[in-house]
Amino acid sequence: MTTSVAHCPALFLTAPASNQGKTTITAALARYFTQQGKRVRVFKTGPDYLDPQILAQASQHPVEQLDIWMAGEDYCQDKLYQAALEADLILVEGAMGMFDGEPSSADLAARFGLPMVIVMDVKGMAQTAAALATGLAHFRQDVTVAGLIANRCGSERHAQLIRDALPSDLPLLASLKRDEEVTLPERHLGLVQAHEVSHELEEKFNAAVSWLESSEDNALLSLPKAVAFSPSEKSLSTRSVTQSLQGKTIAIAKDEAFSFIYDANLVTLTSLGANYVFFSPLHDQDLPAADALWLPGGYPELHAQALAENQSMLVAIQAFFQSGKGILAECGGMLYSLESLTDLEENTYSMLGILSGQGAMRGKRGCQGMQTAVLPQGEVRAHAHHRSRSANTPEPVAHGRRQRHPAPGEAIYQTRGLTASYLHLFFPSNPEAIAHVFLGTSASMDEAC
């Protein structure tokens, strides 16, 4: 049997650590090539909601996650193949440092033959930046590094010192000056949500394109070499998913307070036969007609007073809960489901009260990491990332299973049709289990996995 292959230029942007400028540069490249009339498809490594929002606006196309542990190799392979069929350029932004995590950015790049570009904040060093980049590039033989992007370069002389110290097989692709005009806005869990600063982002993208064009080294402004992509043996196009949610409508909270929604999760709901509609717990007075409800994560703590004051919405969701229909509440959605929420200024507001307990913000202390949600409906890959705590909650039905630690993970609660946890679920990892969650029913592990 002949395996189809699609060829597409691709780059994987990585770094020695977080906060080196990966997202800014990935967004700048996406916007630059989009302005050149190219079809750019961007992926983000790992469980991230905020970076994809930025990158989606920059590339003018939805951005999905690629993560071998969370999604599986077949899933990642098929997503890259599908992108290669329609794109002129594929960009993948890594997570943390190049070799951090299990699996790491380097693992993903090596598995799919993606050439990596190292983004490094070179402020305060010159030849040492070259030494660090050389060490990263040659740390593993199965990883191909196309070059270095020197971010926050002080001058052309600064860039020249780095350029001269690099080996011949590791070119300086760009030397980008320090420029606060291109710095993306942030808050306590990362970047600010794109829709909150859409106009400001457009100004930053335009500035970032000029920033790229100002580099003395302009190799980044040409399309990289093409990479060959093929579908997996268990291609998504041939994989059957039972349409367990056929004819069902899922109402999804989406506004300034709730927006941590993977595009891949929406695609999964559609593949299960569901329709979905968005509503705003902040601004709407009532729920849309729906068979199930999804309260995703976000920033309810920043809007707790407004959520508490929207009494008609509280009453509508409470009545929906009493009906026994399926509700999924993740992290911020779980905080909204509790009896009260205390924000960062120690103000306490009444919430839905469909789950016993109180939530409170914890400032800079929190919890994060990859976990498997061991639901009665089946196991679903997930992650936790929060800086809050809950107290006086019911006895959990299960706990998350941490990826690399034996201690119990996040508590999982179920009452009536409600499933609530700090865990953010990745629906494609077990669509049938997700269907049972929204149907408010249980399934055995054998049926759901």
pLDDT in tens, 321-347: 999 999 999 999 999 999 999 998 999
- How sure is the predictor about 248, in pLDDT bands with cuts at 50, 70 and 90? very high
- How sure is the predictor about 253, in pLDDT bands with cuts at 50, 70 and 90? very high
- The whole-number pLDDT of residue 187 equals 42
- How sure is the predictor about 374, in pLDDT bands with cuts at 50, 70 and 90? very high
- How sure is the predictor about 36, in pLDDT bands with cuts at 50, 70 and 90? very high
Triad 376, 382, 388: Cα angle to 5° = 100
Catalytic residue among 8, 76, 153, 331: 331
Task: Please give the backbone phi and psi of residue 219, each rounded to the nearest 5 degrees, phi first.
Answer: -60, -30
Average pLDDT (100-116) is 96
Mean pLDDT of the chain: 90
Q: Is 331 among the catalytic positions?
A: yes
Say which DSSP state 72 is in. Answer: -
- The whole-number pLDDT of residue 212 equals 87
Q: Compute CA distances 284 → 287, 310, 312, 341, 352, whole Å.
A: 8, 8, 9, 20, 15
Per-residue pLDDT for 180 more than 80? no
Ordered by where they begin, the domains of the chain are 8-229 (3.40.50.300), 249-448 (3.40.50.880)
Q: Which residues pair with 275 in a beta bridge?
A: 249
Per-residue pLDDT for 113 more than 90? yes
Q: Compute CA distances 105 → 110, 112, 174, whole Å.
A: 9, 11, 21
- The percentage of the chain sitting over the pLDDT mark of 70, rounded to a whole number, equals 91
Give the integer Cα–Cα distance in Å for 100 and 120.
Answer: 15
164-174 residues labelled b (16+ CB within 10 A) or e (exposed):
ebbeeebebbb
Per-residue pLDDT for 449 more than 70? no
- The whole-number pLDDT of residue 446 equals 36
Helix (H) or strand (E) holding 159: helix 156-165
- How sure is the predictor about 299, in pLDDT bands with cuts at 50, 70 and 90? very high
- The whole-number pLDDT of residue 185 equals 59
Q: Are 207 and 179 in contact (CB under 8 A)?
A: yes
Q: Which residues pair with 120 in a beta bridge?
A: 150
One-letter amino acid of 410: E
**pTM of the shown model:** 0.88
* Each residue's pLDDT tens digit, 387-439: 889 999 999 999 999 988 888 899 999 999 999 999 999 999 999 999 999 99
